[in-house]
Chain A
C-alpha cells in the first residue's frame, strides 16, 4: 500500500494541519516508509487468529448510575478563549 500526494493533502485537511507544498513529497515518502514497515506484518499468517481489541486482558468495569460530578462551571470555563453568559464563545460555526 502506498499513498500519493493527494492522499497526504486529504489527511492533512482532516487533521486540520497545514503542509508546506514544498514538503508534500517528503511527507509522502515518510508516510510510505511507515506503511511499508507496517506492511511487513502481512507476512505473518493470521488465517486462524481472531482480531485482538487490546493486549490488556481486562474486562470493562461499569460505573453505577449516580451523579458524582458537574457544577464546576467556573473551572470548566477557566481556559476558554472567550465566554459569555456561562457559554463558550467560538467563531460562528453554523453549517
Chain B
C-alpha cells in the first residue's frame, strides 16, 4: 500500500475520493439521432431536429452505443444488466435544448465491476466500479467571443456518453492517476472511447473528502469538475484535500459544493453550493421503453473481446519472460504491445523489449512521432536484434545501424552489408591487429607484463578501434590475454 497522509502540527489526515468519468462513445452517429458524432466540424453542422429538441421529435437508440457500453462493462469486469431504463434528468441550461438530459438513473446498463491498478511501490489495488450508464452529451458553450453573450454549438449535443462511477476507494492522488491511465488504456484497447482527456472525450469529476487517519467516518465532500489531464486530476485532489484539512483545523466546516480546478494556480476554485441546482427531478423517459438485452448478444460481444492489458501483461511475463514492469509499460498502449509482439516473434523477447524501451522509444521521443509513424518497422527492429544475437554485429555497431534505420527506414541486414559493418570473428584477422598494436606500444606491453593488468581494457579499445568497431569484443579479450 502506498501511503498518502496529510500531516500537520495538529494531526494526520487521509483522503476519501471517488470518481465520475464521462467517456464519449466511439460511434458514427449520435446516441438518439442520425446526426454525425464527429468532432471538429463547423458549428451546428452535425445537428438534427432531434438534437435541437424540435417539438414532436422522438429519440431512437443507436445499437452501436449499446454494444460499446456492454463491451466496456465487460472490460471493467462488471455485471451487465439485461434490464435497464432511461430517465430524464431535468435541468435548465443553454447547453440542453430539451431542458433535460436522457440518461439512466435507477437501472443502469452496467452494474458493479473493478479495475486493478499497479502502484509505484510494486503493489496493486482493486478499485471498485459502482456502475456505468449511457446518456447524451450536452452542447458546447463558448464564452470568450463576446463580453455579454455566450455562443452555443450543438454538434456535441446528443453524442453518446458512458458515465463510469467508482466507489470512494481512492486514498491517494497516485491511485487516481494510476486508475485514469488504466481506464484509458482499457477503453483504447476496446475501441469504445478514444480517451483523449485534453480534447474532452474523457472527462473526470472527483468527489473528495478528508478524515482523521484511521477513522471510518465519511465527511462532507466537495466535487471538483472537469479536470482535463491525469496530472491535473492528481493535482486537484491533492490541493483540494489540503484546503479541506486547513478549514477543519481552523475550526471551519465543509459545505457540499462544486469547485473547478484552475491549472494556472494548481488550486481549486469555488463554483457553487449544492442546494437548489442539483434537484434534477428524475423520472422514467416516456419516449423510450426499457432496454432489454439478450444473453446471446452479451455472449457474442464477450466472445469478440480483444485481449485486455492485464491479460496481455501476464502472458508477456509468463510466456515471453518479460519483467512485470517492462510488460506493464509495453501493454499500456495497444499499438506498442502489437508492435512489440511482431518484433519479438521467434526471438529473445527480453532483448527486443530492451531495444524497444531504450533506443526505440528515445528515437520516437526525439523525432516527436507516434509509434504508427515510426521509420523503424517492427520487423526491422526484430532483424536488428537477430544480427546481434547471431554475432553478426556487436551491440555497439547495432546502435549505429539503428541510427541509420531511423533516418532511412532501411532493412538492417542491407545496411550492415552495404556499409561493411559485419563483425570480424575471423581469429587470424584479429590476431594481425593485435600483433600490430603490441608492436607499436612496447611501453604499455612492458607495464602490463609487470603487473598493470588493468591496461587490458586499453588494449581491447585499441584493437576494436583499429578494426573500426567490427572486431568481436569477447574474442579480442580472449586473444589479447593469450598474446600478452
Query: Taking beta carbons and an 8 Å cutoff, which residues of A are in contact with B?
Result: 10, 13-14, 16, 53-54, 56, 58-73, 75-77, 82, 84-95
Q: Which residues of A contact B92 (CB under 8 A)?
A: 14, 16
* B27 beta carbon closer than 8 Å to chain A: yes
> How far apart sit A76 and B141, CA to CA, in the bound complex (Å)?
17
| A77 and B44 within 8 A (CB) | yes
| A5 CB to nearest B CB, Å | 16
Are the C-beta atoms of B34 and A63 separated by less than 8 Å? yes
- B50 CB to closest chain A CB (Å) equals 8
Give chain A residues whose Cβ lies under 8 Å from the Cβ of B93. Answer: 93
Question: Across the interface, do B148 and A53 meet the contact criterion of CB distance under 8 Å?
Answer: no
12 A-B pairs (CB sep. < 8 Å): A10-B276, A14-B276, A54-B284, A65-B62, A72-B47, A73-B47, A75-B49, A84-B151, A87-B43, A88-B153, A92-B147, A93-B143
B289 in contact with A59 (CB, 8 Å): yes
Contact of A76 among B44, B271, B290 (CB under 8 A): B44
List residues of B (260-307) whose CB comes within 8 Å of A's CBs: 271-272, 276, 279, 281, 284, 286, 288-292
Cα distance, A85 to B145, chains bound together (Å):
11
On whether the beta carbons of A65 and B292 are closer than 8 Å, the reply is: no
What is the total of A-B residue contacts with beta carbons within 8 Å? 142
Least CB separation from B46: chain A residue: A70
**A65 touching B150 in the complex, CB below 8 Å, given contacts A72-B48, A76-B44, A94-B143:** no
Pair B43/A63 contact, Cβ less than 8 Å: no
Bitwise interface map of B from 24 to 60 toward A, beta carbon under 8 Å scored 1, else 0? 0001110001111000001111111110100000001
Besides A10-B279, A66-B29, A87-B145, 6 other A-B contacts (C-beta < 8 A): A53-B290, A60-B61, A60-B288, A65-B64, A85-B43, A85-B145
B141 neighbours in A (Cβ, 8 Å): 93-94
B28 with A67: CB separation less than 8 A: yes
Contact of A70 among B34, B64, B150 (CB under 8 A): B34
Give Cα A26–Cα B50 distance, bound, in whole angstroms.
38
Residues of A within 8 A of B360 (CB): none
Report Cα–Cα, A16/B276, bound state, in Å: 12
- Does any Cβ of A come within 8 Å of B405's Cβ? no
A69 touches B292 (CB 8 A): no
* Smallest Cβ-Cβ distance to B290: which chain A residue: A53
CB closest chain-A residue, reference B139: A88
Q: Which of B338-381 contact A (CB under 8 A)?
A: none
Whether, in the assembled complex, B142 has its beta carbon less than 8 Å from a beta carbon of chain A, the answer is yes
Q: Number of B interface residues at 8 Å Cβ cutoff, please give it.
A: 54
CB contacts (< 8 Å) of B271 on chain A: these are 95
A64 to B62, CA, bound (A): 6
Is B66 on the interface with A (CB-CB < 8 A)?
yes
The answer to whether A14 and B289 have CB atoms under 8 Å apart is no
Contact B94 A70 (CB under 8 A): no
Q: How far is the CA of A62 from the CA of B292 in the complex (A)?
A: 11
| A73 nearest CB across to chain B (Å) | 5
Smallest CB separation, B31 vs chain A (Å): 10
How far, in whole Å, are A57 and B296 apart by their CA atoms in the complex?
22
Nearest residue in A to B29 (C-beta to C-beta)? A67
Query: Who on chain A is nearest to B153 by CB?
Result: A87
- A66:B291 contact, CB within 8 angstroms: no
When distances are taken between beta carbons in the complex, the residues of chain A under 8 Å from B146 are 89, 92
Assess A92 versus B61: contact at CB under 8 Å? Given A10-B276, A16-B92, A66-B34: no
Nearest Cβ on chain A to B481's Cβ, whole angstroms: 71
> Chain A: which residue is nearest B63 at the CB level?
A62
Task: Give the CA-CA distance A3 to B409 in the complex, in Å.
Answer: 76
